[in-house]
């Protein structure tokens, strides 16, 4: 966003090590004057009220245990007329207890909502909802391709005698791909505006 559109970007990162890594990467690509990544929690964003134009998130809310509070924080920091746009996992059908535990252990997936429930939540915190899109079919294709690439990289790492990655993540990711292709889980894209 900063490079392509000249936007001033503030990222919120919970983990101190990732904040430090983001600062280093931002410096290496020469965007330190227009991008900052600050350590913080989306449930209590360290940004003043009505101070940003746009809030964007890409599959991050699936890790947040209180999505309503996170969306209320987005509402708080947006200027009147400001916009929110995000993608996230959605549940078309409830997960079994086994799958829910697997998603938690492998990828720290908190509660998942249906498209309709997410739209209601966005409205409840005060946004006008502009669009709700079901991305499940598109995600199914992409995820199969990513899984094939990931399997190949794991095999190469194992043959080289190097760590092949976190097994709990791998197991949950394989199951996630199946759940999306079976339309149990999926993806959603949401957009809204804070009223003026």
The 10s digit of each residue's pLDDT in 78-125 is 999 999 999 999 999 999 999 999 999 999 998 899 999 999 999 999
Per-residue model confidence as pLDDT tens digits over 4-54: 999 999 999 999 999 999 999 999 999 999 999 999 999 999 999 999 999
Contacts 24+ apart (CB under 8 A), 102-106: 102/171, 102/172, 102/175, 103/172, 103/175, 103/176, 105/168, 105/172, 106/166, 106/168, 106/169, 106/170, 106/171, 106/172, 106/173
Question: What's this model's pTM, rounded to 2 decimal places?
Answer: 0.91
């Amino acid at each position: 966003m900063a490079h392509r559109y000249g936007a001033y970007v503030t990222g919120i990162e919970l983990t101190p090590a990732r904040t430090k890594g983001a600062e280093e990467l931002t410096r290496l690509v020469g965007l330190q004057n227009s991008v900052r990544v600050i350590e913080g929690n989306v449930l209590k964003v360290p940004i003043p009220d009505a101070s940003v134009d746009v809030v964007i998130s890409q599959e991050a809310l699936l890790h947040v245990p209180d999505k309503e509070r996170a969306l209320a924080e987005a509402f708080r920091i947006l200027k009147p007329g400001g916009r929110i746009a995000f993608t996230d996992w959605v549940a078309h059908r409830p997960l079994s207890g086994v799958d829910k535990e697997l998603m938690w252990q492998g990828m720290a997936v908190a509660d998942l909502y249906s498209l309709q429930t997410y739209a209601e939540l966005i409205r409840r915190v005060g946004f006008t909802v502009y669009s709700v899109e079901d991305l499940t079919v598109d995600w199914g294709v992409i995820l199969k391709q990513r899984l094939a690439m990931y399997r190949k990289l794991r095999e190469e790492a194992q043959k080289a005698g190097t760590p092949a990655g976190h097994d709990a993540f791998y197991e949950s990711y394989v199951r996630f791909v199946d759940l999306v292709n079976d339309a149990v889980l999926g993806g959603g894209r949401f957009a809204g505006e804070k009223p003026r």
